[in-house]
Amino acid sequence: MKLPAKGIPEDELFKRLEAFRAHDVQWRDGRTLAYVYDIGEQVEAIAKRAYTMYLTENALDPTVFPSATQLENQLVALAVSHLRGGPEVVGNFTSGGTESIMLAVKTARDYARATRGITAPELIVPVTAHAAFHKAAHYLGIKIVVTPVDTTTYKADVAAMRAAVTDNTILLVGSAVSYPQCVVDPIAEIGQLALERGLLFHVDGCMGGFLLPYFRRLGADIPDFDLSVPGVTSISMDYHKYGFTPKGASIVLHRDAALRKHQIFAFARWYGYPIVNTAVQSAKSVGPMAAAWAVLHHIGDDGYLEIARTLLDATRRVKAGITATEGLALVGDSEMNLIAFTADSDDVDPFLLIDELRARGWCTHPQLRFEGAPANIHLAVNPKFTSQVDAFLKDLGEATEAVRGRKPGELVSQLIGMVSGMIEGAGGAGASFELDADTFGQLLAMAGVEVGGSLEESSTINAILDALPPGLREQALTLYFNALFVPPRD
């Protein structure tokens, strides 16, 4: 593929850009219950205007673009007061939850190295902590120690975390809320453990940090989870989730500048300009900050409280509707507006149900079984969905009846049987079985999956992934992406 010999006129360009999204999910109708946090076109227009106003400004150098520093410091100040931090608290703007988490873990690693001489750092996370902590540990060369959660409440087992602490522990983690079941870990208890053992403690408030305080103001029973809890030393919160700002907006806060110092990377030993970065990204558009600033100030505190009221009410209705549907059951008792549910009998297959819902226009998120948790369906109750709860529950009831008694097809069992045979041939599930690209290609062909094809019916793939050991799921997904991201070669 080459650049066009002559530039393409504007109209034609936008026609072509529009064509790229022909097969995207139609999220504007509020039936996409994951991936997007849409608050409507009026706020979107403000976000776009602010974003494009600062599109080209570069947050690389605060001496050249003081506007970027001002916007960032104000966005951090809003987060500090929202999360009840004291006057010593500092923080930074990042591109998202993953970057905030990466920075919190890097800060802990470098702080432990500097203050305790730790060279083989260990990070303790409950099994419900977001995968971003595993990614951070992987990128930063840190051993991650995973502790169980209570299999009824899905909250961190603090005794297990206590037992996992060693002389090399650098950081404890708790979530408010966790993504999979949307519950708040026992933050106060983990904080006590951190204080007793002189450890740092990060609260992942990426999903819940912004909305939970509003839910509490509306009378929901939300436990304390923020910087007011003794022992919490850092916290992350995403504006680009329930602050409804465009993607690329998150905050990481630290208890004080002495700790945050370890987040900053400075380098002056090369032929070029001296580098100093607070985040992973270096040169970056000021657009996401400007858009976040504009949206937060436009909606305002009373606006968010009203949004939270609608979400809380709709979430309660959806939870009640799921519980009342024969054969379905909640997984954990969600404390925010994300809900996980599954079938409480073998009669209803969750993956077939996801496809039935998709056929009725509802896009939900599958979660695979893992250790004590069953395969389940995850959905977010977002603003445009709140007026469609009755329609959803009606469709959910009909979809459940449609799949009741149905099993994943013969093909699924055949494929699972084949893969199990291969694993056994290589010495069983515990052995390091390596899936090669050719075998994977054959399996995909048998399953009728075309790389890059649309997945209107995903139950076959989900059922197969669900049956595989997690290590093999990871290999299969890696091979799929390795095949998917191949440039057009014409």
Ligand X SMILES: Cc1ncc(COP(=O)(O)O)c(C=O)c1O
Smallest gap, in angstroms, from Cβ of residue 129 to ligand X?
8
Report how far residue 380's alpha carbon sits from residue 365's, in angstroms, rounded to the nearest whole number: 9
Residue 130 is a binding residue for ligand X (CB under 6 A) = yes
Smallest gap, in angstroms, from Cβ of residue 277 to ligand X?
18
Report how far residue 331's alpha carbon sits from residue 348's, in angstroms, rounded to the nearest whole number: 15
Q: Which stretch binds ligand X (CB under 6 A): 200-208, 266-274, 380-388, 432-440?
A: 200-208
Smallest gap, in angstroms, from Cβ of residue 278 to ligand X?
17
Distance from the Cα of residue 230 to its chain's centroid: 26
Residue 253 is a binding residue for ligand X (CB under 6 A) = no
| For ligand X, the closer CB: 325 or 367 | 367
The residue of the chain with the least Cβ separation from ligand X equals: 97
Smallest gap, in angstroms, from Cβ of residue 276 to ligand X?
24
Residue pair 292/246 in contact (Cβ under 8 Å)? The answer is yes
Report how far residue 411's alpha carbon sits from residue 8's, in angstroms, rounded to the nearest whole number: 47
Residue 238 is a binding residue for ligand X (CB under 6 A) = yes
Q: Cα separations (Å) of 31 from 28, 50, 137, 190, 395?
A: 8, 27, 35, 37, 12
Candidate list 107, 147, 175, 278; residue touching ligand X; CB under 6 A: 175
| For ligand X, the closer CB: 204 or 356 | 204
Residues comprising the chain, all counted: 490
Smallest gap, in angstroms, from Cβ of residue 43 to ligand X?
19
Residue 98 is a binding residue for ligand X (CB under 6 A) = yes
Give the total of residues touching ligand X (CB under 6 A): 11
Residue 246 is a binding residue for ligand X (CB under 6 A) = no
Candidate list 30, 85, 91, 96; residue touching ligand X; CB under 6 A: 96
Task: Identify the bridge partners of residue 255 per DSSP, sorted by sequence position.
Answer: none
DSSP-assigned states of every residue in 20-38: HGGGS--GGGS-B-SS---
Candidate list 93, 179, 341, 362; residue touching ligand X; CB under 6 A: 179
Residue 336 is a binding residue for ligand X (CB under 6 A) = no
Residues 201-220 that bind ligand X (CB under 6 A): 204, 206-207
Residue pair 326/312 in contact (Cβ under 8 Å)? The answer is no
3-state secondary structure of 276: strand
Q: Which stretch binds ligand X (CB under 6 A): 91-99, 279-287, 401-409, 437-445?
A: 91-99
Which conformational region is residue 3 in: left (phi greater than 0), alpha (psi within -120 to 50 degrees), or beta?
beta
Q: Cα separations (Å) of 118 from 163, 192, 193, 301, 330?
A: 19, 22, 19, 43, 42
Smallest gap, in angstroms, from Cβ of residue 432 to ligand X?
29
| For ligand X, the closer CB: 37 or 385 | 37
| For ligand X, the closer CB: 205 or 231 | 205
Smallest gap, in angstroms, from Cβ of residue 302 to ligand X?
26
Residue pair 151/104 in contact (Cβ under 8 Å)? The answer is no
Q: Cα separations (Å) of 340 from 124, 260, 366?
A: 25, 35, 9
Report how far residue 270's alpha carbon sits from residue 265's, in angstroms, rounded to the nearest whole number: 14
Residue 97 is a binding residue for ligand X (CB under 6 A) = yes
Contacts with ligand X by CB under 6 A lie at 96-98, 130, 132, 175, 179, 204, 206-207, 238
